[in-house]
Amino acid sequence: MASAPSSTTSAPSGTTGAPGETDRVHLPDTARDLVKILVAGPFGVGKTTLIGSVSEIRPLHTEEQLSEASAQVDDLAGVRDKTTTTVAIDFGRVSLPGGVVLYLFGTPGQERFRALWDDIAYGALGALVLVDSRRIDASFDVLGLVEESGLPYAVALNEFPDAPRHHGVERLRRALDLEADTPMVTCDARDANSSIDALLALVDHLLTRDPAEVR
């Protein structure tokens, strides 16, 4: 797999990643392909949670408390209990079998941060777009941004406890207007194994594409 320009600043020495992980700040000797991946999706869909669940280094978060002023511009429908929001990026790293290392860049989900999109997306090879089946329409703007950027992507339905269970896969694909070859999987962003499976679906999708189509 081709590599792409990425920010590779390591966390301070001695930091740790996910609970139970040993110190893995430095890249493993087996690292061969360094790949920048976007984790995108609307406000409150679980991007910060997913990156935190899989990162082998202490993830970087740029979260701030929601204020009364932001409540006037951020749509809190369906996420009334959310008290913080990402204002720049989330960042984490995960090593996969075969020497592939993913640098994960979480993007803010609100329209008011759209100006950051081009800078964050620069050098990325693909995107994992998280979707909340309770708020399908909230995903359209982000999917539009990803498609406009030309990035290959996979869709992961983050299964919230109160999400409706009657949606069929094909019905959701039609609602999101996905191309036939765009992968769609379900995941629990809180669970590392589930989140890694979603990332692997994206990696498999990138590997099946013509290299000329991947930036």
Cα–Cα distances in angstroms (integers) from residue 42 to residues 26, 78, 142, in the given order: 32, 12, 7
Of 62-66, 106-110, 182-186, the least confident: 62-66
158 - beta bridge partners?
187
The predicted structure's pLDDT at residue 117? 84
DSSP 19: T
Q: For 43-54, what is each residue's pLDDT tens digit?
A: 889 999 999 999
Closest CA to 105 of 34, 159, 173: 34
Kindly indicate the confidence band of residue 21, based on its pLDDT and cuts at 50, 70 and 90.
Answer: very low
The predicted structure's pLDDT at residue 66? 44
Region 141-154: mean pLDDT is 92
What the block records as the tokens of 96 is: 């996969």
Longest dimension (CA), the chain: 49
- Average pLDDT, rounded, for the chain: 78
The predicted structure's pLDDT at residue 95? 93
Phi, psi of 155 (to 5 degrees): -110, 135
Give the 3-state secondary structure of residue 166: coil
Rounded to two decimals, what is the model's pTM?
0.76
